[in-house]
Structures are given as C-alpha cells and as structure tokens.
Amino acid sequence: MSKFAAPKGVSEYFPPRSQNFEFVRNTLIGEAVVSGYQLIELPVFEDTELFKRGVGESTDVVSKEMYTFEDRGGRSITLRPEGTAGVMRSVIENNLDKGQLPVKIWYSGAFFRAERPQAGRYRQFYQVGVEAIGLSEPEIDVEVIAIADRAFKKLGLKKYRLDITSLGDASSRAAHRVDLIKFIEGLNLDDATAVRAKLNPLRLFDDKRPEISSAMSKAPVLLDYLSEESRKSFESVKSLLEDFGIAYQINPRMVRGLDYYTGTTFEFVHELLGAQSGIGGGGRYDGLMSQLGGADLSGIGFGLGVDRILLACEAEGIFSSDAVTSSLEIYLIPLGSENTKFVTNLLNQLRNSGVIADMSYGDRALKGAMKSADKSGAKYSCVIGESEISSGSLTLKEMKSGVTKEVRIDSLAQALKEI
C-alpha cells in the first residue's frame, strides 16, 4: 500500500497500455493534419469569466463542474472544462481571424471537470479537438465530421454511430422555444427539474428518467421549426455525408451540454461503452466569437474523448494480444561483472549512432538476462563476455527466429542499420 494515491477520478496511462493511448491520440491528430489543420497549444487554465461567457452559465459544466480557484493576485482562474472557448480567446487575442479564412486548428490535451467519476468519466480527461473558423458553408461541417469518422475507421472501430441534428438559426430557435416552454409548463415537474427547464428548456430532452423521457417524447422538436435557410443547409450536410459514405442517424432530440451550439450539431456514440457512451461530439457555433469580443464569424468544431475512444477500441478487441510493440533494435547482455564497463560503453556508442538499444544491468544469470531480452521486445540480442572482447566479434541473435550471425563489434551499428 503506497502512502499517496492519485487524486480521485483521474485517468493514468502507464506501460504497456500507455502505448495504446498514444496510438489512439496520434491517429486522431493524424486525421486533423491530413485535412489541413494546424496545431494550437493553449494554457490549461483561463480567466473564469471566459468559460462563463463562452460555455454559458446555464450549463451544468459551468454551474457545478468547474475547478475554480483564486490565484495569488486575487484573479479567478478555472482549469479548462472544454476546448473551444480557449481557442476562440486565443484566435481573437492573436488576430488569427484577420488573415485568410477559414482558420483551421487542432488541439490536444487535458481537460477538467469536477464530477463524480464513473466508467469513462474522469475529472481529468483527454481530448483531441479541431476548430474551423470563418466559413459557414455546409462543406466545412462535413469536413469536420469526416475527420472524426475517418479516424474511427482507421482505428478499426465498427460499433459506433453518428447522431446528427440541426439547431437552426436564431429565428428557428426562438419560434421553437415559445412552443416548447408552453409544452413544458403543462408537465408536472419536480423543483430541480423545473429550474433546469427554465434555464434551458432543451435540456429536458436529455433526461434519462423514464417519466421525463416519455413525457418529452410528445414535445415539439426544433427540427420542425427550421427556417428555410437552415433547412437547406442541413439538407446539404446530409447529402454530402451520403456522398462521403458516412452513415448517420437523425436524432432531433439530441442535446449538447454547452450553450454555444447552433446549426449542425453531432455526436458519435459507441455501443459497448455503458453509460458514458459519447466518444466525441461537436457542432457549429454562430455567435460565440462575437460574444467573446471578436469578429462576427461562424465556426464549427468537435472534441473527441481520447480516454473513451481507447476504451471503445479495447471493447472491440482492437489491441488484442501481441499489440505491445517495442522499437528496441538490440539488447546487450554482459557476461561477468568485469565486462560490464565494456558493454556499457558499447551501448553508449550504439545510441550515439542512433541505434535504439538497451542492456541488462546488474550481474544477472544468463538465463534471466535472456528472459529480459525476450520481454524487452528487442529485435536482436547478443551476449558479450571474455571471448567476444578478445576476438572482437560477437554473435547476433534474432529473437523471433533464433537465427544467429557473427558480426564485428566495431561495425555493429553499421550492421544493424543494414539489416
């Protein structure tokens, strides 16, 4: 039992699973790069007010899930609960929106929400996200969705689906809101739920309690209130998704947890994940830039949950058995402690010439050292003792096949590169 334990609800990745985590994250990033997105690296904490204004005070994220503290100068600081608000702040602050549009950027890192932990829900979690700012064409909506879909397919995921809807423009939402509030007033709700409904009536669509969800099944949905323009745009999105071969399902009751979404919104859901099944989601945000003091530009983006996507890959058996890969090229085994110094120096020379190498440290029995060589995953091993040093040549053993080969010690690095 160690004296210290990690803070409650954080995810940690250590070998060998950290290799799979890295693989998932790099695959997600790779697809953003392929589509012309560039890296933005941001602070993990921001002015608390940024999230209140950007994400919305009525959201659960802002009202009860933020890690907020006061710094030494008396400023209110919050660990970022999501990525988009910070990106917008930086884009505005650094005038990225004054150049060529769209601005296409990706980010990756840790995010924080003070929730009760659960399978797939952590207080510190990892996202890869993209934002495309400055164009409102439906082609960009589909480009963004396609990045995520392509990454999931590349990872080998099969048991997921894409839910999509449109929240329309301001006039669409205003018309719907009137009718929805009228409908909700006719329901008999408990106090907490009534308060939530008042802050944002759309939230009730997301309630999983059977009495609420069955009542809400008769509620008017926003999709039926779309303006002509919004409807046309949504039609284009759907038609392009079909051209791209991306399967989707229209879900008019889908609700996103953040207030800034407008127009196209979407969510990727995995079947094998239990309660926390959303592996990524996003949408368009028309008013966000201007609300944060920037130009009145539209944008669209997503956040993908790296932790959950890793869980999904594991649930589908993607990293089955021998997925643990090692990049080690050679593993050196000194025989006899008097030869350790020679081997240590040889190891250093190999590394200096760029060979990925390791050795057996300590005076171990040969059998044990060979076992370590085996477990290291190195491609080759070699034993170096008295006779090798005096003859200047050693026996290189290919671990997988057991085939051996004589090599001069002074040309070992060269030999390994030629193989």
Partner RNA sequence: GUGGGCGUAGCUCAGCUGGUAGAGCACUCGGUUGUGGUCCGAGAUGUCGCGGGUUCGAGCCCCGUCGCUCACCCCA
Report the residue from 22, 374, 406, 410 that binds RNA according to the rule CB under 7 A.
374
Report the residue from 47, 60, 169, 314 that binds RNA according to the rule CB under 7 A.
60
Residue with tokens 């709700």: 189
Q: Which stretch binds RNA (CB under 7 A): 149-157, 176-184, 303-311, 313-321?
A: 303-311
Q: How far is the CB of 253 from RNA (least distance, A)?
A: 12
Dist. CA 66–CA 76, nearest whole Å: 12
Q: Count the residues of the shown chain that bind RNA, applying the rule CB under 7 A.
A: 71
| Nearer of residues 150 and 397 to RNA, judged by Cβ | 397
Site string for RNA, 72-101 (x = CB under 7 A): ----------x-------------------
Residue with tokens 């039926």: 224
Omega of the bond leading into 220 within 30 degrees of 0 (cis): no
Report the residue from 22, 57, 386, 406 that binds RNA according to the rule CB under 7 A.
386
DSSP codes joined into one string, 78-125: EE-S-SHHHHHHHHHHTTGGGSSS-EEEEEEEEEE-----BTTB-SEE
Site string for RNA, 191-210 (x = CB under 7 A): -----x------x--xxxx-
**Contact between 163 and 216 (Cβ < 8 Å):** no
351-to-174, 394, 414, 416 alpha-carbon distances in Å: 65, 18, 12, 12
DSSP codes joined into one string, 41-88: ---SEEEHHHHHHHH-TTSHHHHH--EEEE-TTS-EEEE-S-SHHHHH
Q: Which stretch binds RNA (CB under 7 A): 180-188, 318-326, 350-358, 395-403?
A: 395-403
Report the residue from 266, 397, 413, 416 that binds RNA according to the rule CB under 7 A.
397
Q: Does 406 bind RNA (CB under 7 A)?
A: no
| Nearer of residues 34 and 272 to RNA, judged by Cβ | 272
| Nearer of residues 186 and 402 to RNA, judged by Cβ | 402
Q: What are phi and psi of 359, to 5 degrees?
A: -145, 170
Q: Which stretch binds RNA (CB under 7 A): 89-97, 166-174, 214-222, 383-391?
A: 383-391
Q: Does 314 bind RNA (CB under 7 A)?
A: no
Number of residues in the chain? 419
Q: How far is the CB of 367 from RNA (least distance, A)?
A: 5
Q: Does 367 bind RNA (CB under 7 A)?
A: yes
Report the residue from 372, 412, 413, 416 that binds RNA according to the rule CB under 7 A.
372
Q: Does 220 bind RNA (CB under 7 A)?
A: no
43-to-46, 51, 111, 191, 303 alpha-carbon distances in Å: 7, 13, 11, 38, 17
Window 12 to 51, contacts with RNA (CB under 7 A): none
Window 141 to 170, contacts with RNA (CB under 7 A): none
Q: Does 346 bind RNA (CB under 7 A)?
A: no
Dist. CA 20–CA 294, nearest whole Å: 39
Report the residue from 47, 115, 137, 179 that binds RNA according to the rule CB under 7 A.
115
Q: How far apart are the first and last CA of the chain?
A: 47
| Nearer of residues 76 and 395 to RNA, judged by Cβ | 395
Dist. CA 5–CA 97, nearest whole Å: 44
Q: Does 307 bind RNA (CB under 7 A)?
A: yes
Tokens of 127: 């996202």
| Nearer of residues 55 and 105 to RNA, judged by Cβ | 55
Q: Does 134 bind RNA (CB under 7 A)?
A: no
Window 265 to 284, contacts with RNA (CB under 7 A): 267, 274-281
| Nearer of residues 176 and 379 to RNA, judged by Cβ | 379
Of 297, 260, 261, 265, residue with least CA distance to 281: 265
| Positions of E strands within 119-213 | 124-133, 160-166
DSSP H or E stretch at residue 358: strand 357-359
